[in-house]
Amino acid sequence: MPYQFQPGRMYRMPTHFGPSLGPRQGEAGRKFVNLESPKITAISVSFLTNQEQLEELLPEGFEVGAEPVVTVEVTYITEIEWLAGRGYNTLGVSFPAVFNGKKDHAEGSFLTVLWENLTEPILTGREELGFSKIYGEIPEPRIYQGQTHCTASWMGFKFMDLKIGNLTQLSSEEAAALISKQGSDGTLHYKYMPKTGEWGKPDISYVTLTPSANTNRVVKEMWRGEGTVQFHEATWEDLPTMFNIVNTLHDLEIKEYRGAMMVKTIGGKDLSDQRILR
Amino acid sequence: MPYQFQPGRMYRMPTHFGPSLGPRQGEAGRKFVNLESPKITAISVSFLTNQEQLEELLPEGFEVGAEPVVTVEVTYITEIEWLAGRGYNTLGVSFPAVFNGKKDHAEGSFLTVLWENLTEPILTGREELGFSKIYGEIPEPRIYQGQTHCTASWMGFKFMDLKIGNLTQLSSEEAAALISKQGSDGTLHYKYMPKTGEWGKPDISYVTLTPSANTNRVVKEMWRGEGTVQFHEATWEDLPTMFNIVNTLHDLEIKEYRGAMMVKTIGGKDLSDQRILR
Amino acid sequence: MPYQFQPGRMYRMPTHFGPSLGPRQGEAGRKFVNLESPKITAISVSFLTNQEQLEELLPEGFEVGAEPVVTVEVTYITEIEWLAGRGYNTLGVSFPAVFNGKKDHAEGSFLTVLWENLTEPILTGREELGFSKIYGEIPEPRIYQGQTHCTASWMGFKFMDLKIGNLTQLSSEEAAALISKQGSDGTLHYKYMPKTGEWGKPDISYVTLTPSANTNRVVKEMWRGEGTVQFHEATWEDLPTMFNIVNTLHDLEIKEYRGAMMVKTIGGKDLSDQRILR
Amino acid sequence: MPYQFQPGRMYRMPTHFGPSLGPRQGEAGRKFVNLESPKITAISVSFLTNQEQLEELLPEGFEVGAEPVVTVEVTYITEIEWLAGRGYNTLGVSFPAVFNGKKDHAEGSFLTVLWENLTEPILTGREELGFSKIYGEIPEPRIYQGQTHCTASWMGFKFMDLKIGNLTQLSSEEAAALISKQGSDGTLHYKYMPKTGEWGKPDISYVTLTPSANTNRVVKEMWRGEGTVQFHEATWEDLPTMFNIVNTLHDLEIKEYRGAMMVKTIGGKDLSDQRILR
């Protein structure tokens, strides 16, 4: 007797061994509370660029938000419940955007690409949530004489350097004020999955939203400082699956840096509130 | 102006940086010929198991083929064109199956799971082709005193050992005879992609076929021998995203080994003949 | 003109490119202060074993100290100055011992073996200091539901699991009391380097001491708890350069656990006070 | 009772767990024959440089040999007996030199530095043989459209690119003629080990020789071609333990390329004929 999909349970390829195991579903269907974990250190640098360069990165239905400011953020995550306490790191590039769909309207941060150094969250993020996750080596940051230096590479080619320093810790009040100011609907994504055999046609293509509410996340510490970021030009031989991505980011004009942040948080959510926008 | 998808070109997340780069599409849309490359060494061990255990691994529409014989195959691939000459390794578990769809009928090898040690082919294989690829560490085989020992692990937990030895090389005639005997329609897969937000429901769920024709692949050398294979029981803590897969394979009864093979091939295809079966 | 060794500068193979770069000598001979760094999290489990089993691990001139209690300690180190802010991890096995030399007498902790997951400190530690350092994969600990799980492996073979939990943080007074109680002369090592060509004979064989004084190290937080540790039996094929080490540790009888500790420290020293005992 | 060193057996730190395991001594003291293994693919590029630049890399007693031609060689080694059939890769830089000692005279290839991507052979090579081995990431070569591209990196910083192409296979006669022409006494090294505590003074400093005779090594295939090699300038932050080495090699003037070679061999020796020159 072939197997039947269990109703109400999530699946992911291979589906043949029972319901999937991932951030939103553990053994026997249990949920992860993300209450005292994960622990995240997020390090980011922002810069003003050209409105036109960002427009070219937006799918139909989107426009650039308030100001063409790109944020490059590296996160170092530990104590992840669904990975039985292991961690991984990410590198994301986003900017403010507005989505005007047939039905939905949303303002938020458009996540153009998110490198992660572990395959499992890449698969769950792409397939379940529509995050544009791809693989990159993201070693622990180097911290030396007041400077934090983050890097990303692929098979020995370093494609990014991000450095922050001159950090000043914010008081709880300053941090709270800053957080409350960040009013947005959340993070915007474009989910796309090709149709097998009909090359060039999608089976899935829609916008998704990660709502900004994140009730279990607690900001523990916050610093403001200065920073720089560089994407390094690559050839097809260097990065045969993503030299186009890295070179586009390399080409973004840095008109003016808009500061750097370091934020340490505890707790989170399983992102099961991710939803499609039409 | 938001970007437009270029007609006739393949895309993959992130779609914002232009057409995708992968096995079936290079820079500026060029194709890879796979004529003198890649080079593959495939090492496999087969065993007879219980018909009932295999049936439980089949989605609706499938039944076990001629005999419940499982083949565990490890491949070591080098000189891959679309990776600019790099390589990667795979570990697959398959058995003969028959698909009786509403429209299509096919007999072939059902690929239950394929571990690969590189994220990029995992993404293209899952999304474009419907291969049930997941990540595993698959180091180069150890070859010592006539025995080849293949292993696979994840974050320090070794979940598989496969050993072959007593190899006898086949003559060209023997090899040709063996290859021609392997009449099948190809490799069968079940592609599944979840729908964001409606957890438990798919956006994509269909059977796909890798047709067996592979005109550029040339078998250079072939050996027959003896071998053993073991999947090691794991806890959720050991393998939090796949202990169910490994333990199901661990539980397959090995009634009788059916020999081992080592095959070296050159050349291949880009699998753009992959198609949906209904 | 061949090069001359610069007087007063340290060297390490290859000596041909100028004075060495390492923990005790940077560019142009500068020293590292180790004042606000490195940051170390040390996790340890202790157990009572047989006096006789430990005696067999001691070179001539040594005897087991107060009590045959083995401590297995894993450390996770970040912000290391001489590595320009990078980090690495270690796994050490030690027990109390007394050295009665011809000239020197010392009581301290005898470090039987120290695995590290980075080659550079292994080389400097072996050659300059006489630490018995060898290579092991030591990933970040997994922290899940109040338990911290540390592991070590080599090429996919996991040879150690150490788990601690039920942690209670010590007050500053308790911590200070505990630290002051640990009176010892330091850590004892046996440095040995073979003579090329006269196999079986040493060029170097002497005892070295890491004096316990570490004025720049500040204990920031300290926890006491419970823990367990297991070394896993290995074959020569699994660990061809160290199955003897791992199996000897596996064979140590665990008569009684003597508690677990987690300690976070900042600052250290460059170990240039390491000296030979005769 | 403390342990005694067993006479006639080799030791390496830690000495406390019995005789060492390595290339020249296995379990229970057995030797490795290296008859049908290891398998080595060696890829090299040579260039003419300045005599003066090479002289500065030579310790006292040495002078540059016939011609100031540097050879950069990458080797990919598999089926190594003492590693139970595993492999590793190396990157060496050498040039012809003459050693005029008080007692010995030798002409051969002076190995200035040898990167390896595995710690165990680095330790045995440095301590037992006097090879100037250090750690580097040396991934499998990329082979694409007739070009072989070798790289080396450290923690994400790629410090070397070596490319060969236009390969022409030599006949057995041509290969034999070329091999017989390479008359030399072997490979020359400078072994140096510091004395603990007396920083700047050595415990060991002597010249060693790897005699050229290698009776079990069989050249299977040999190609001649063209190639280029580049060492990339690094900062202390990039390569804090070896930027001096890489930058010195970067600075070597490439006056003229002297061709490239690819050689595949089977079999070798355990290098127990390594000896001290005085």
Question: From its phi and psi, is residue C84 left (phi > 0), alpha (psi between -120 and 50) or beta?
Answer: left
Interchain CB distance below 8 Å, B85 and D143: yes
Residue of C nearest to D272 (CA): C197
Residues in chain C: 278
Residue B233 is predicted with a pLDDT of 98
Residue C29 is predicted with a pLDDT of 95
**What is the arithmetic mean of pLDDT over A235-263?**
98
Looking at this predicted complex, what is its ipTM? 0.97
**What is the arithmetic mean of pLDDT over C194-216?**
95
Res C182 pLDDT > 80: no
Residue D214 is predicted with a pLDDT of 83
Contacts of D86 in chain B (CB under 8 A): 139-140, 142
| Rounded Cα gap, residues A162 and A73, in angstroms | 9
C162 to chain B, closest Cα gap in Å: 14
Residue C183 is predicted with a pLDDT of 73
Res A246 pLDDT > 80: yes
Interchain CB distance below 8 Å, C156 and B155: no
The string of pLDDT tens digits covering residues A149-194 is 999 999 999 999 999 999 999 998 898 888 877 779 999 999 999 9
The string of pLDDT tens digits covering residues C137-173 is 999 999 999 999 999 999 999 999 999 999 999 998 8
**What is the arithmetic mean of pLDDT over C10-26?**
98
Contacts of A155 in chain D (CB under 8 A): 139
Provide residues of B within 8 Å CB-CB of chain C: 137, 139, 142, 144, 149, 151, 153, 155-158, 237
Residue of A nearest to D156 (CA): A156
Q: What percent of chain D stands above pLDDT 90?
A: 93
Interchain CB distance below 8 Å, D157 and A155: no
Confirm if C218 and D43 have CB atoms less than 8 A apart. Answer: no
Establish, for the pair of chains A and B, how many residue pairs have beta carbons separated by less than 8 Å. 230
Provide residues of A within 8 Å CB-CB of chain D: 137, 139, 142, 144, 149, 151, 153, 155-158, 237
Residue D102 is predicted with a pLDDT of 97
Interchain CB distance below 8 Å, C16 and D112: yes
The string of pLDDT tens digits covering residues D135-149 is 999 999 999 999 999
Question: Of D174 and A206, which is predicted with more confidence?
Answer: A206
Q: What percent of chain A stands above pLDDT 70?
A: 100
Residue D120 is predicted with a pLDDT of 98
- What Cα–Cα distance (Å) separates residue A194 from each residue in A12, B10, B134, B186, C27? 16, 8, 18, 21, 53
Structure confidence at residue C62 as a pLDDT band (50, 70, 90): very high
Mean pLDDT of all residues in chain C? 96
Question: Choosing among D32, D89, D142, D163, which should be mutated to test the B contact, i.e. which has the most B CBs within 10 A?
Answer: D142
| Rounded Cα gap, residues C11 and D199, in angstroms | 9
Cα-Cα-Cα-Cα dihedral sign, residues D200, D201, D203, D209 = positive
Residue C157 is predicted with a pLDDT of 95
Res C181 pLDDT > 80: no
Residue C263 is predicted with a pLDDT of 97
Interchain CB distance below 8 Å, A142 and C84: yes
Provide residues of D within 8 Å CB-CB of chain A: 137, 139, 142, 144, 149, 151, 153, 155-158, 237
**Pick from D58, D208, D236: CB nearest C27:** D236
Residue B63 is predicted with a pLDDT of 97
**Pick from C142, C145, C147: CB nearest A86:** C142
A52 to chain B, closest Cα gap in Å: 8
D58 to chain C, closest Cα gap in Å: 5
Interchain CB distance below 8 Å, A156 and D155: no
Structure confidence at residue D183 as a pLDDT band (50, 70, 90): confident
The string of pLDDT tens digits covering residues A195-228 is 999 999 999 999 999 999 887 999 999 999 999 9
Low-confidence ranges of chain B (pLDDT < 70): none
Residue B250 is predicted with a pLDDT of 98
The string of pLDDT tens digits covering residues C68-94 is 999 999 999 999 999 999 999 999 999
Mean pLDDT of all residues in chain D? 96
At D35, the amino acid letter reads: L
**What is the arithmetic mean of pLDDT over C177-202?**
92
- D22 phi and psi, to 5 degrees? -170, -165
The string of pLDDT tens digits covering residues C91-123 is 999 999 999 999 999 999 999 999 999 999 999
